Amino acid sequence: MGLTFPNSSRSYDPDHGRVRFVGHDGMFQISFSITTEAISPKRLEGADAEQGYLAAFDAIRSIVQAVARKAYERTRKSTYALTAADI
């Protein structure tokens, strides 16, 4: 079985400047995060930052998931931190 993303939920982590999401490989849950710099060309601040970064993530979700699949196929870990270099 391969990596899938049946749950479309994601969350913004302002302390680490990341958007977090999960994938599943069978019964195993794989945790992913991607830096805000990788998903948004401009830095967002204040009350709108969370909604802005989540919208930016949603806009390129298919690209992010493809990158996540590629990373998972290489190493099969349980946690991944993706950056702009991965995109």
Counting the structural domains of the chain, the total is 1
Q: Is the pLDDT of residue 47 over 90?
A: no
Q: What is the pLDDT of residues 25-45, one digit of tens each?
A: 999 999 999 999 999 988 998
Range of the domain at 25: 3-86
Structure token pair of residue 32 = 């992913």
Q: Is the pLDDT of residue 46 over 90?
A: no
**CATH number for the domain that contains residue 43:** 3.30.160.140
The whole-number average pLDDT for the span 49-65 is: 97
Q: Tell me the chain's radius of gyration from C-alpha atoms.
A: 13
